[in-house]
Amino acid sequence: MSNRTVYVGAHVSASGGVFNAPANAADIGATALSLFTRNQRQWKAKPYAPEAVDAFKAAMKAHGYNGDNSIPHSSYLVNLGSTDDEIWEKSIAGLADELSRTVQLDMRWLNFHPGTSKGEWDEERTLARIAAGIDRVHAQVQGGVLVLENTAGQGSAMGNRIEHLQRIIELVKDPDRVAICIDTCHAFAAGYDIRTAGGWDELIKLVEGTTGLDKLVALHLNDSTGGLGSRKDRHKPIGDGEIGLEGFRAIMEDSRLDGKPMILETPEVDRWPEEIALLKKLAS
Ligand SMILES: [Zn+2]
Ligand SMILES: [Zn+2]
C-alpha cells in the first residue's frame, strides 16, 4: 500500500455560484479542484454575498477540499505584460480582486498567466512590467500567493521558459508571495520533451535549479494537440495527445510532486471521472 498524498482533480464549473464548485468536483472523484472565483469574461463583478462565502466554505469542508488541494484560476483577460496602461491598470485591479476573493474563500493560491507585451517590448522589459504589476497587486491585498503558470509561448507570451518565471520572482519585492504552476501541455508545446521519465526528470531538475522545487505548488495535467515545440496551447484528454500515457505515468509516479494539486483542464468534460481514475491508478 502506498501512503502517498496525491491530489488530482479538474477545473470545475462554478456556474450558479462558487459554492457549487466543490460538489461538482466531488461528483467526478476529484481530490483537488480549480475554479474561477468570478465570471472570467468580465473585468468586474459584484462582491460575494456573505451567505455565498459561508456556503462555499461549508461545501469545501463537506467534500474534503481546503487550501492545500485547491487553486483558483484567474480571468484570461488579465495581462500584466501589457504595454497599454489602461489594460495594465485593469489587469492589476482585476487580479487584486480575484486574489482577495481567493483569500476570502479560505484558499491561498491564485493561478494566472504571466502575460505578454505582444512583441512590443523585449523580454527583460516585459518581465519587469509583469513583476511591477505583481507588486501592485500584493500591495492591495492582504495575504494570498500569485502563482505564475508556464505557457506554450503562443504569440509572444512570456512564461514558455522556466527561466522567465524565475526572473519574475527575482524582480518582485515580496517573492514569498509568488509561486509557480507547471502545465504539461504548455511545457511540451514550449519544447520540453516530457514524453518519458527522463524528460520529465530533466524539467523538474530545471525547476530545482531555477525557482527551486518549493516554488512549484501545483500542476495542470493536459495532453497536447500540438507537437513538441509547436507553441500551440491546445489541450487533449490524457493519453490522447502528443505527450501520451508514458509521460503521465512518469509524472504520477514522481513522489516529488506529492501534496501538490494536479488539475485537469482537458476538453472532454464527460471523460474527467475516467481521466482522474486513470491518473490515480498511475500514482498507486
Ligand atoms: Zn493550464
Ligand atoms: Zn492551456
235 given a catalytic annotation: yes
Q: Quick one: how many helices (H) and strands (E) in the chain?
A: 9, 9
Percentage of the chain lying above the pLDDT 90 cut:
98
5, 3, 75: which is closest to 43 by C-alpha? 75
148 in any annotated domain: yes
Domain of residue 92, residue span: 8-283
pLDDT tens digits for range 149-204: 999 999 999 999 999 999 999 999 999 999 999 999 999 999 999 999 999 999 99
CA of 51 to the centre of ligand 1 (A): 30
Residue 284, pLDDT > 60, answer yes
248 in any annotated domain: yes
Residue 237 has a pLDDT of 98
Order of strands, sheet of 109-112, starting from the edge strand that comes earlier in the sequence = 32-34, 8-11, 262-264, 216-221, 178-183, 145-149, 109-112
Number of domains in the chain: 1
263 in any annotated domain: yes
pLDDT tens digits for range 138-157: 999 999 999 999 999 999 99
Candidate list 38, 113, 161, 195, residue with the active-site label: 113
Residue 76, pLDDT > 70, answer yes
Residue 109 has a pLDDT of 98
2 in any annotated domain: no
Distance of CA 72 to the CA centre of its chain: 8
pLDDT band at 3 (very low <50, low <70, confident <90, very high): confident
Residue 267, pLDDT > 50, answer yes
Helix (H) or strand (E) holding 180: strand 178-183
CA of 174 to the centre of ligand 1 (A): 24
Residue 2 has a pLDDT of 65
1 in any annotated domain: no
168 in any annotated domain: yes
At 157, list the grid cell. Answer: 507570451
76 given a catalytic annotation: yes
Q: What ligand is nearest to the CA atom of residue 235?
A: 2
274 given a catalytic annotation: no
164 given a catalytic annotation: no
Q: What ligand is nearest to the CA atom of residue 152?
A: 2
Candidate list 73, 108, 129, 136, residue with the active-site label: 73
Pairing of strands 216-221, 262-264: parallel
pLDDT band at 232 (very low <50, low <70, confident <90, very high): very high
267 in any annotated domain: yes
**Average pLDDT score, the chain:** 97
Residue 1, pLDDT > 60, answer no
CB 156 within 8 A of CB 116: yes
159 in any annotated domain: yes
pTM: 0.98
167 given a catalytic annotation: no
The CATH number linked to 118 is 3.20.20.150
